[in-house]
Structure 1
Amino acid sequence: MIHARSLSHGFDGSDVLTEISLDVHPGEVLAIVGPSGTGKTTLLRLLGLFHPPQAGAVLVDDENVWSLTREERLAVRRRIGMVFQDRSLFSTTVAKNAAYGLEVRQSWSTRLKHALARERAPPAVLDALDTVGMRDKVSQHARGLSAGEAQRVAFARALAVEPDVLLLDEPTSNLDPRNTALLEEAVTRARDRGIGVVIATHDMQQARRVSDRAAVLLGGACIEYGDTERVFERPHDERARKFITGELVY
């Protein structure tokens, strides 16, 4: 679905990513693991088409996205959802926060405004909130949510637009075990719907629990990539083995 080919990117003259190649498939979870500062977020932003890579290509359905027209590229971006580590919500209800992605889409705008005016969330929003275990809080104001609940609403907001690909940037960072488990369950349910999920995490055990394939980033380079079990049990690169076992502090 999404193919990264030799992606390289940097900021202020410093390289952040170098020659990254990987694939995102439908109905599969890909974990991007690595220490803080190794380029995981930058890679997600490139896959999410927030900006073009300085070198290499992002292919969607075998087309180089950055060779498309602006309108064509926008249509591709609408197939991709992203949940940031910063779980910012608007000062309104859970339902309206989860519906925001639909509201900004022209094809949904009139229908959505009428639905929200009657305080009834669209079915896609209710389904997304149900997936993350937040449907019972549909009318609650976001100010009263815990950090874990807020992150689950942010996940629902990305899920409500029914994306083909979902990009997650450290989605359970600093969350308690219950909210972490609920979000991991939501990841699995999204995958089971046929969504391609990419999760960037420094939590090695989480990557093993939820992913089908894994990529290890160190120093902006992908040093290991393949089936999760093989990557964690039989890594080809000695640096990857040491990082996974905790022998290498990067």
Structure 2
Amino acid sequence: MLEANEVHHGYDDETVFEGVSLSVDPGEVVAIIGPSGVGKSTLLRLLAVFDAPDRGTIAFDGTPMWDATEQERLEHRRRIGMVFQEASLFDASVRRNAGYGVRVRQSWTERVRHEVASLVGKENGTTDVLEALETVGLTEKVDQDASSLSGGEAQRVAFARALAYEPDVLLLDEPTSDLDPRNTAVIEDAVRQARNRGIGVTIATHDMHQAERVADRVAVLLENDIIEVGDTETVFESPRDDRTRKFIDGDLIY
């Protein structure tokens, strides 16, 4: 379990969160919805243990991350995968890009062995990497240079890169906001496959239809807090908080 508990956070004089609490369990998809600028990306960065909260705790498997040692935080962070809104790929093949996360998590000896293998044409061809590329439908482009990919294909490689090292938790920050319907569908299907493999997935999205399609639970982020969290059908069809209904109906303007 990855959990935020009573998290307060801000930048300079701006308050972003006042007591936010949220958890993601193995094998479920949690969608965080809310208007642009409300703090969805900031919450993901906190859950990814990139940033420390001002108050409150971020815990992984019951261990408060900012009370742990630096080495313990690193070990837990290595179990978390994150995909940002824009893919950042290296000038290398699709396979090497998808395998980057696997390589940096290997021991020095394992890394040398894979680098030697790449020199003889077996470019990090681990099963995990190839399976991840198959999940996003890119096995036919494993040896293609990543710079030649479309934007949607590049984002699929970024997703495969996070999936290849078999994280326990996958955090997705608006992963399909600039994609066409085909690439969006591929990534949404990959999200479902990740969930079926027991990975806990949290996706920040402004696309409420996407949240309805892929999420088991939905958290509504408004006014510096998560005002409502529940199973997807309940949140969209009969929310408890009137602000949730107004936001979903487009009656709240931010």
TM-score by length of 2: 0.96
| Equivalent AA in structure 1 for residue 15 of structure 2 | D
Unaligned runs of 5+ in 2: none
Aligned with residue 117 of structure 1, among 92, 116, 119: 119
Identity percentage of aligned residues: 60
Q: Which residue of 1 aligns with 2:222?
A: 218
TM-superposed deviation, 1:22: 1.0
| Equivalent AA in structure 2 for residue 178 of structure 1 | R
Tell me if structure 2 keeps the 8 A contact 1:9–1:17: yes
Deviations for 1:91-149, whole angstroms, at most 9, x for unmatched residues? 11100100111111232423322332233221110000000111110001111111100
Q: Which residue of 1 aligns with 2:163?
A: 159
Q: Which residue of 1 aligns with 2:63?
A: 63
| Equivalent AA in structure 2 for residue 181 of structure 1 | A
TM-superposed deviation, 1:173: 0.7
| Equivalent AA in structure 1 for residue 194 of structure 2 | A
Deviations for 1:166-214, whole angstroms, at most 9, x for unmatched residues? 0000000111000000000000000000000000000000000000001
Q: Which residue of 1 aligns with 2:73?
A: 73
| Equivalent AA in structure 2 for residue 48 of structure 1 | A
Unaligned runs of 5+ in 1: none
Ranges of 4+ aligned residues in structure 1 off by more than 6 Å: none
Tell me if structure 2 keeps the 8 A contact 1:87–1:150: yes
* Secondary structure, aligned partner of 1:166: strand
Q: Which residue of 1 aligns with 2:46?
A: 46
2-side partners of 1:119 and 1:168: how far apart?
32
1-side partners of 2:150 and 2:25: how far apart?
33
1-side partners of 2:224 and 2:119: how far apart?
47
Aligned with residue 237 of structure 1, among 230, 235, 241: 241
2-side partners of 1:118 and 1:221: how far apart?
53
| Equivalent AA in structure 1 for residue 250 of structure 2 | G
| Equivalent AA in structure 2 for residue 137 of structure 1 | K
Q: Which residue of 2 aligns with 1:203?
A: 207
1-side partners of 2:54 and 2:214: how far apart?
31
Tell me if structure 2 keeps the 8 A contact 1:102–1:112: no
Tell me if structure 2 keeps the 8 A contact 1:128–1:157: yes
Q: Which residue of 1 aligns with 2:148?
A: 144
TM-score by length of 1: 0.97
